[in-house]
Structure 1
Amino acid sequence: MLIYMSNSTQQERSTPLHSVSVAGVVVREDGRVLVIRRADNDTWEPPGGVLELGESVEAGVCREVLEETGLSVVVERLTGVYKNMSLGVVALVFRCKPVAGTPCTSPESTAVEWLSPDDAIGRMGDMYGMRVRDALSPGEPVVRAHDGRKLVA
């Protein structure tokens, strides 16, 4: 609970807590997409994780992709902003291009694979598949809200 000062009086106000995560949809020149199988829940997703304090958004994307896959990437563009309304997690998703390294697993990933977009989306749950579809689409970034499984208004 935070206390705000206004006109010399104290007012209590509850501030919602949010977490910010970042993810990279890494796309090779041949159109294949890099995906990981997470070690903690066995789901297929684009590499990503929680943004650290004091870290720029782009640096966070590059760090997460490197930690989880062994690949260095260049961030090309923001493709979507997604809020999990149930958990208060805001995810910033970027399309990235690989520049160095060889894909490998990590303590956070049990598999790292280059897949066709259809295969990648097919292995993922709806909310992660949508992020890949959005990253592969031209145009402006999208803003979406979901409950962890389906879109919400």
Structure 2
Amino acid sequence: MSPDPVALPKHSVAVVGVVVDEDDRVLVISRRDNGEWQPPGGVLELGETFEDGVRREVFEETGCAVEVQRLTGVYKNLKRDVVALTFRCAATTEPVALTDEARDVRWMTLDEVREKMSPVFAARVLDAFEPEPSVRAHDGVNLL
């Protein structure tokens, strides 16, 4: 007997773009809702491919068009049941200073990422510089 689809656990799927420039700086936002520094990203829409979702989220949050290059990590927030797929990207246009979703948009060095981002978001950025994708679980702030 197959399980009742209504009773199955539900997960949200998010996509994140780690946009890297020629100096290995990363495009980041300070979110309007909580002020946190993060790489741009958000929930994947129904019927949307991963790559289209990354391009849409990065553009909505930074005004920057990107080329999606490769998957760099899969992350599960065990408290909120969100699975995030992170992709390394290259900018094809310049970002803007602020958007409806970001109170600030700027390029950060990896040292600044380590200093200003929560551990889970810093890990997503730093993992984008590794040769193989990472698979990690977290509680929304810290890796587990």
Superposition TM-score, scaled by structure 2 size:
0.93
- SS of residue matched to 1:20: strand
Structure 2 gaps of 5+ residues are none
- Quick check: which one's strand share is greater? 1
* Structure 2 equivalent of residue 151 of structure 1: 143
Give the corresponding residue for 1:142. 134
Q: Structure 1 stretches of 5 or more lacking a match?
A: 1-5
Question: Over alpha carbons, which structure has the higher Rg?
Answer: 1
Q: What does residue 71 of structure 1 align with?
A: 64
- Of 19, 28, 31, 1:35 maps to 28
The Cα of 1:103 is off from its aligned counterpart by: 2.5
* Structure 1 residue corresponding to 2:50, chosen from 49, 53, 57: 57
Residues 72-92 of structure 1 show CA distances to partners (whole Å, capped at 9, x for unaligned) of 000111000000011000000
What does 1:117-132 align with in structure 2 at a 5 Å threshold?
Answer: 117-132=110-125
1:101 and 2:84 matched: no
After superposition, the CA RMSD in angstroms is: 1.5
Which 4+ runs in 1 deviate beyond 6 A? none
Whole-Å Cα distance in 2 between the matches of residues 121 and 35 of structure 1?
A: 12
TM alignment of 1:9-28, pairs within 5 A: 12=4, 14-28=7-21
Residue range with higher mean Cα deviation, 122-131 or 97-106: 97-106
Q: Which amino acid aligns with 2:81?
A: G
Is residue 90 of structure 1 aligned with residue 121 of structure 2?
Answer: no
